[in-house]
């Protein structure tokens, strides 16, 4: 799969900020078909059987590594190179197929899911997307077989979310090789075999493949983490490490683009891994609340318990719908999916963390015991809103891209001269007609099932309101909108809620067409419940753009910074 050129491919989410619902980009909902589906199902079955019979998460945590034997076993089961081309020993799955298999690992053990994701989603992916034929032939067969593990080496002690301003430096030599110096931290699989390292140089950012054991490569010490205890997270230092010219991915200057494209792809498996985890949590909740009795009743008979379980299923359905719509955008290959990838990661990791807490609550004190599966999950899942793009950063990324897209559509009224009213009218007239038409006839999602008309109408109204709110923000704040992060958060949350509804309506439409309305009643109830909840949340976020306590929040923030501590005495 080639990387997406954002300049030449449309973005569905950017269109939402413009007040447009580009239905052809998302409908019909992408459903796996044919050989890809068959291969995926076979690999899912292999993963499920192995995880149920041969893998022990508690032993892995005790040993502080999932085990080289586990890696070998997964390689033998063809699970280590899921998307790699078969000519390099992989399975050649689509993005949807790959993420479906990764869901199985998330259902059983967050740590193993992360180890697999680091190796495949971001470790092997740069070679898969940007490697030459020679580079692929050199490294991919061993990576796909599990004989070697891959790492994605980006984060530094002073560089996290601001990935552009790397301090690691690569100096090109006269023979085309590179001398690499710097330090990286929090690198999964960092002590292993094939490291894709990102650095700056006089020629721009570069992506270099460094092999484990290279002279001058110093690994360790290992970080002692709260969760993911069986994941090897390393500090890495490069002390005049010489990297051969043939180990450069792409061209000099391509490094940052390669890193961002890799992360955009990699985030998607996080959505499905967390969906798998949510399904596992739901199983635990049903088992516990059905077996546990209090006040002579099963726990699940109590409304507040039932509410939590119903919420968990509903949110998992929406999360799953978003995740596989996004992977479908990748598989179609003609859409810029960067914002959808970011929104799915944010929604999944935030919702997964909250859902885990609700299931934890249902189990009461028993879940607080250190040897309970939910206790381990609590330690493991907390990292998901942080890594592969911190959620607040991804919200800002989503909103700023939407704001930029709309700003490019608005007429530059400040440049118009009052002495030329005819010229001004010529520029503004089409724009005014567009805005009036949008208010009278909000654009609707085309191709969805006719019985979902209320949900389709709600999506149209919310999209029109998102456009209006985005324009208001631009006209009110101008360039300073880049500093208004609470505004950005609300716009991003609103866009995410609309996208979640689109995904759910699209999925349900496909089910209704396939199975008929009578056979799809239970699924319809869940989907409609999810959409209505998201519609309420979108409304809340958009109202908060106008009615909020931001000024008071800023005053309180300034006062506590000045005081340096809690300032009030009773």
What are the catalytic residues?
388
Q: What is the DSSP string of 293-351?
A: EETTEEGGGSHHHHHHHHHHHHHHHHHHHHHHHHHHHHHH-SS--HHHHHHHHHHHHHH
Query: What is the total residue count of the chain?
Result: 570
| DSSP symbol at 76 | H
Q: What number of other Cβ atoms are within 10 A of residue 306's Cβ?
A: 13
- CA distances in angstroms from 169 to 49, 221, 442, listed in the order given: 45, 22, 51
- Please enumerate, as own/partner, the contacts of 436-443 that have beta carbons within 8 Å and a separation of 24 or more: 438/19, 438/464, 438/467, 439/464, 442/19, 443/19, 443/20, 443/21
Cβ burial of 238 (10 Å; 0-12, 13-18, 19+) is buried
- Omega before 84 within 30 of 0, i.e. cis: no
**H helices of 408-545, where?**
421-440, 453-477, 485-515, 521-543
Separation between Cα atoms, residue 94 and residue 268, nearest integer Å: 12
Separation between Cα atoms, residue 122 and residue 271, nearest integer Å: 14
- Quick one: tokens of 488? 């950005």
Q: What is the DSSP string of 230-251?
A: TS-EEEEEEEEEEE-GGGEESS
Tell me the backbone φ, ψ of residue 195, rounded to 5 degrees. Answer: -110, 120
Task: Mention every residue, 6+ apart, whose C-beta is less than 8 A from residue 281.
Answer: 312, 355, 356, 359, 374, 377
What CA dihedral angle connects 228, 229, 232 and 235, to 10 degrees? 90
Cβ pair 84, 97 in contact under 8 A: no
Separation between Cα atoms, residue 440 and residue 443, nearest integer Å: 10
Quickly tell me which residue has 């490697």 as its tokens.
Answer: 131
Q: What number of other Cβ atoms are within 10 A of residue 337's Cβ?
A: 29
Task: Mention every residue, 6+ apart, whose C-beta is less than 8 A from residue 376.
Answer: 57, 58, 61, 227
Q: What is the DSSP string of 411-440?
A: --GGGS-TT-HHHHHHHHHHHHHHHHHHHH
Quickly tell me which residue has 């790397």 as its tokens.
Answer: 166
Separation between Cα atoms, residue 98 and residue 409, nearest integer Å: 37
Cβ pair 503, 24 in contact under 8 A: no
Q: What number of other Cβ atoms are within 10 A of residue 259's Cβ?
A: 22
Separation between Cα atoms, residue 501 and residue 481, nearest integer Å: 27
């Amino acid at each position: 799969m080639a990387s997406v050129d954002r300049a030449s491919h449309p973005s569905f989410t950017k269109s939402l900020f413009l007040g447009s619902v580009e239905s052809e980009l998302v409908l019909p909902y992408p459903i796996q078909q044919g050989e890809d589906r068959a291969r995926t199902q076979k690999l899912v079955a292999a993963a499920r059987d192995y995880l149920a019979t041969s893998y022990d998460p508690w032993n892995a945590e005790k040993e502080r590594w999932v085990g080289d034997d586990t890696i070998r076993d997964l390689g033998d089961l063809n699970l280590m190179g899921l998307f790699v081309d078969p000519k390099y020993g992989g399975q050649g799955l689509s993005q949807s197929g790959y993420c479906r298999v990764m869901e199985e690992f998330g259902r059983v053990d967050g740590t193993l899911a992360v180890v697999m994701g680091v190796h495949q989603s971001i470790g092997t992916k740069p070679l898969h997307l940007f490697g030459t034929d020679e580079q692929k032939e050199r490294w991919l067969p061993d990576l796909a077989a599990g004989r070697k593990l891959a790492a994605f080496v980006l984060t530094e002690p002073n560089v996290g979310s601001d990935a552009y301003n790397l301090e690691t430096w690569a100096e090109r030599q006269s023979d085309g090789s590179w001398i690499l110096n710097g330090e990286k931290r929090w690198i999964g699989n960092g002590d292993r075999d094939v490291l894709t390292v990102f650095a700056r140089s006089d020629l721009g950012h570069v992506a270099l493949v460094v092999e484990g054991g290279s002279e001058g490569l110093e690994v360790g010490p290992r970080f002692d983490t709260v969760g993911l205890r069986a994941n090897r997270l390393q500090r890495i230092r490069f002390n005049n490490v010489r990297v051969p010219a043939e180990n450069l991915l792409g061209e000099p200057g391509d490094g940052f683009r390669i890193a961002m494209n890799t992360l955009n792809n990699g985030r998607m498996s996080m959505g499905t891994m967390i969906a798998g985890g949510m399904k596992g949590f739901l199983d635990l909740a049903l088992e516990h609340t059905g077996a546990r009795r209090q006040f002579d009743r099963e726990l699940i008979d109590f409304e507040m318990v039932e509410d939590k379980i119903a919420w968990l299923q509903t949110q998992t359905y929406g999360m799953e719908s978003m995740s596989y719509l996004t992977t479908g955008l990748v598989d179609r290959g003609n859409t810029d999916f960067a914002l959808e990838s970011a929104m799915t990661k944010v929604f999944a990791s935030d919702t997964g963390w909250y859902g885990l807490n609700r299931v934890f609550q249902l189990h009461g004190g028993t879940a607080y015991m250190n040897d309970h599966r939910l206790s381990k999950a609590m330690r493991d899942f907390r990292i998901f809103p942080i890594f592969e793009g911190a959620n607040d950063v991804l919200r800002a990324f989503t909103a700023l891209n939407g704001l930029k897209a709309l700003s490019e559509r608005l007429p530059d009224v400040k440049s118009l001269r009052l002495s030329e009213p005819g010229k001004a009218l010529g520029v503004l007239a089409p724009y005014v007609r567009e805005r009036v038409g949008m208010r009278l006839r909000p654009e609707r999602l085309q191709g969805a099932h006719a019985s979902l008309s209320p949900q389709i109408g709600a999506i149209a109204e919310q999209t029109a309101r998102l456009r209006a709110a985005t324009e208001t923000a631009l006209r009110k704040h101008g360039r300073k909108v880049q500093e208004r992060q609470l505004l950005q958060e609300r716009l991003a949350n609103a866009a995410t809620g609309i996208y979640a509804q689109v995904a759910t309506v699209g999925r349900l439409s496909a089910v209704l067409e396939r199975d008929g309305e009578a056979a799809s009643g239970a699924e319809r109830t869940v989907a409609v419940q999810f959409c209505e909840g998201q519609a309420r949340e979108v409304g809340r976020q958009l109202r908060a753009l106008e009615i909020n306590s931001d000024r008071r929040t800023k005053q309180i923030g300034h006062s506590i910074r000045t005081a340096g501590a809690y300032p009030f005495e009773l």
